[in-house]
Amino acid sequence: MITSPRYAEALGWAEQLHRHQSRQGKAVPFLSHVISVSALVWEDGGDEDQAIAGLLHDSIEDAGQTRASIRERFGGAVADIVRDCTDPGKVPGGDGVLDPWILRKQRFIGTLQQLPEASLLDAGQDPEGWNRFVSGFDGSAWYFWSLHDQLHVLLPSSRSVKLLGESVRAILASPQLLASLPPGQDPEDWVGTYLDRPDTHPVD
């Protein structure tokens, strides 16, 4: 497959949008993240629109863009994928108050079955993120487990979903999780019932 000038344009725009941003907790340009996501989309069989959306998937949340501004440059297909991968609570123009992390993630998990396959492929491309526990270990374990529980059915052939499954299995077998289990509790059942333990949910 040969990329078109659109892809080079999207890469240049992504660099402009994220030029002054870095990865959370790292002295690494944020651009490395969106390039990685786009590369994974290509490797998972995605087309150019999906790969461009990978480059721009954080442009609404983190760079002040809108579906309209993306559509103007790269068309409706790309804009729709980026919108579908965006946390609605972080869309510019709101009151600036975010709902709690747990509610935002519940909503996102709940939308997956309604998303077109083109958007699902991009939504499932963040293996690096599956090793970060930004919401605490228990909350992140639940989120990754829930994400994989949906995506392995919706995208059974996806390479990245398989990588997500490996990360989830590592979490379920981790000393940190096993040490927190009540006696006789199955790790997967414990993670899957996280929503029933609101006292353990992150406060944000």
- pLDDT tens digits, one per residue of 11-50: 999 999 999 988 876 788 999 999 999 999 999 999 999 9
Write out the two tokens for 200. 């353990």
pTM here?
A: 0.86
CATH architecture of 1-95: Orthogonal Bundle (1.10)
Question: What string of DSSP letters covers the chain?
Answer: ----HHHHHHHHHHHHHTTT-B-TTSSSBTHHHHHHHHHHHHHTT--HHHHHHHHHTTHHHHH---HHHHHHHH-HHHHHHHHHTS-GGG-TTS-SPPPPHHHHHHHHHHHGGGS-HHHHHHHT--GGGGG--TT-HHHHHHHHHHHHHHHHHHSTT-HHHHHHHHHHHHHHT-HHHHHHSPTT--HHHHHHTGGG-GGGSPP-
For the chain, percent of residues with pLDDT exceeding 70: 89
Q: What is the mean pLDDT of residues 144-163?
A: 92
The whole-number average pLDDT for the span 104-126 is 88
pLDDT-derived band at 52, boundaries 50, 70, 90: very high
Domain ranges of the chain: 1-95, 126-204
Give the pLDDT of residue 142: 92
pLDDT for residue 104: 85
